[in-house]
Structure 1
């Protein structure tokens, strides 16, 4: 029975007939890229500190707008988390750790199980993160926990700091609070990254467990960021909006990257055509490289036999048939 060809057959150049070239994605090139972008994001947060007075004014303006629209869910949630340790402590652990664990775990899962969608998922995350960094720079915002006590918020991270590794200053490890920007609150990328994870789990996951996690993770994250007094509700809305904008920009960004890659490949091809001998070396037998004039042993033996037999008709340029032996 003839063997069936795979439906996604690729040519020798790594392309699918009728489609754009397929670029192989390898983890050892992706990992440095993700770490580089995350490092730039962390450094950008520190640089985008802004004026404290301006950040407080922005926070109070958001709080007043929410109260005017009857959307002030932060106060009741914060009182619930403050009064009940069994709710507040897990919420602080959720806020301080899960976005560092779940986000890369989902990215690795997509890379391993749904690699054809990986570039789009990774680009969506990185583009949205950079948009969030712009928001931190242009609109520094004082989170509810850093407002004056008269506004009725309690910093649960400080209240329950003895239960975890974080300190009283921020969700950073104890003693490293000065290495984070506490006014980088608008938009909430805790919510944005959780939404990204939820969309991918819902879209590519199979089974009720992953579908439940896809809905529960971003929803609980929204509740946690407000109950711990780290974000306003509008911060969460802005985080979702940033992810939506990043999603819209992902396809144009990928097309632009493909054009740049094609142009770079074209420049290299022109350079090779202009100097065909650049980087070339004599090759014998496909993989065996030899110096100029050097012959491998079998080649010497074949040359000696050819000399004994005499010149071939084609070598002498004579069309007369060779005499029978």
Structure 2
């Protein structure tokens, strides 16, 4: 907390133009916001104008407060002073709590630099480490650099505060969505900063990326130098664009939704403060809560159904034939792994991974069986292929079959993607029954196959990135990756075709007589 108090500053205008801008902002703010919400609102807004300048030493935020006030005044809008004061108190308390949290999180240089190197390796793996090139391309004479620095250091919070003040008066529902998403993103960012500190490019000399703010003679004031992920500079500006784009349509919606975030991404890269990956994470943790809030009703309904399915797990595992089969089969694998660990503790380097894989497979099978019980649950095909694939992977790893038999890896790829595709088919079938969809099974076939192949591609990307970032040596070259994808595709197509044929057989049987038992 002492570090936070030490960071408090007291600034006065450093030259006449700055003093004029501050006096103009104070006068306009007092007059406009008093008309909008009465004397208490005018007093609060004026205090915010002066306080922001005293702390930051730049008129950007005061001018933003004044400009928004003029816009509201021109539109004839008003706000009750009590509501304005309450929202100011909520936002200020949240921001101070976030700042206190950032100061409380103390990151060490060594892990932050290691994590930064991993981020650089990740970007290079995709051929997208271009931060130095972008900086060299977009910097030039000192006025250009000063403009980038101004956008990074002062425009960021001015835009966010201006957006809050605009929405709280002009559109309260969107304001609440914006305010809550800002708070949620801050709550998500703090544990990320604590658990995964990352040094920004400007602190890694080997990258050759300059600190344009320091180069221009301006000091940095950071709560934590090693908090590059997530970039809330990018995230909050991207969220601002997303919120303001909601009522728009067509090309205007796309421009406003994407433009501000991309613009701030360029700013943080050019100034040497972030990698593009930081901006991507910042956008996800900022916009994600807003999207979830907008779709809260179906998400809450799904959460309730998931909770009910979780409560029914013991019943599914004991009474449902397919659930009992998977519980006993995969439970046997748990026993095998446990006994092997006791008898020979070093029998495999992947014991923890295998134990987690078995548990996750069983949990997902039983949850899906409970979630879709009304639609008949999962088929025997899905349970069977998932159990066989899990056993094959565990025994193949334990017996070193992957290294001894070249085709074994391709067999497990075939079965693994088949299991994933079968689960996708079952879920799509259950959703179609619930929504009374009239789309033909052919569409489900293509979608399930696409999901399965996408999962296979995702696994290959994961293995490749694991090699590049964490040196796991899981991939064996491009030809091996190609063969893996062929096996993945074959597994997806084969199981989807089998399930499609089975569904057609049941449909034909229904037309001619009693329905045969579901496999």
Determine which of 236, 239, 257 is the counterpart of 1:193. 236
Instruction: Report which of the two structures shows the higher radius of gyration computed on alpha carbons.
Output: 1
CA distance in 1: counterparts of 2:288 and 2:249, whole angstroms: 27
CA distance in 1: counterparts of 2:250 and 2:258, whole angstroms: 13
Does residue 151 (structure 1) correspond to residue 194 (structure 2)? The answer is no
Does residue 126 (structure 1) correspond to residue 183 (structure 2)? The answer is yes
Q: Which residue of 2 aligns with 1:71?
A: 128
Determine which of 238, 246, 252 is the counterpart of 1:203. 246
Does residue 99 (structure 1) correspond to residue 156 (structure 2)? The answer is yes
Point out the more displaced range, 24-33 or 36-45: 24-33
CA distance in 2: counterparts of 1:194 and 1:97, whole angstroms: 13
CA distance in 2: counterparts of 1:67 and 1:211, whole angstroms: 29
Cα deviation, residue 41, structure 1: 0.8
Q: Which residue of 2 aligns with 1:58?
A: 115
Partner secondary structure for residue 246 of structure 2:
helix
Cα deviation, residue 209, structure 1: 8.7
CA distance in 1: counterparts of 2:201 and 2:282, whole angstroms: 17
Query: Are the aligned partners of 1:74 and 1:233 in contact in 2 as well (CA < 8 Å)?
Result: yes
| Unaligned runs of at least 5 residues, structure 2 | 1-80, 301-519
CA distance in 2: counterparts of 1:117 and 1:82, whole angstroms: 36
Q: Do the aligned partners of residues 131 and 25 (structure 1) sit closer, same or farther apart at CA in structure 2, a change above 3 Å counting?
A: farther
| Unaligned runs of at least 5 residues, structure 1 | 1-23, 171-176, 257-325
Q: Which residue of 2 aligns with 1:16?
A: none
Cα deviation, residue 207, structure 1: 12
- Size of the alignment, in residue pairs? 218
> TM-score, normalization: structure 1?
0.61
Cα deviation, residue 81, structure 1: 4.3
CA distance in 1: counterparts of 2:89 and 2:228, whole angstroms: 27
Q: Do the aligned partners of residues 25 and 131 (structure 1) sit closer, same or farther apart at CA in structure 2, a change above 3 Å counting?
A: farther
- Quick one: higher RCO (CA 8 Å, sep 6+), 1 or 2? 1
Cα deviation, residue 226, structure 1: 0.8
CA RMSD of aligned residues (A): 2.8
Determine which of 266, 269, 272 is the counterpart of 1:226. 269
Cα deviation, residue 211, structure 1: 7.8
Does residue 235 (structure 1) correspond to residue 281 (structure 2)? The answer is no
CA distance in 1: counterparts of 2:160 and 2:124, whole angstroms: 32
Cα deviation, residue 31, structure 1: 0.6
User: What do the CA deviations read for 1:22-76 (whole angstroms, capped 9, x no partner)?
Assistant: xx98111111111011011111111222211000111111111111211112111
> Matches of residues 2-13 of structure 1 in structure 2 within 5 Å?
none
Query: Are the aligned partners of 1:131 and 1:246 in contact in 2 as well (CA < 8 Å)?
Result: no
Cα deviation, residue 215, structure 1: 4.1
> Matches of residues 284-323 of structure 1 in structure 2 within 5 Å?
none
Partner secondary structure for residue 158 of structure 1:
helix
Query: Are the aligned partners of 2:242 and 2:287 in contact in 1 as well (CA < 8 Å)?
Result: no
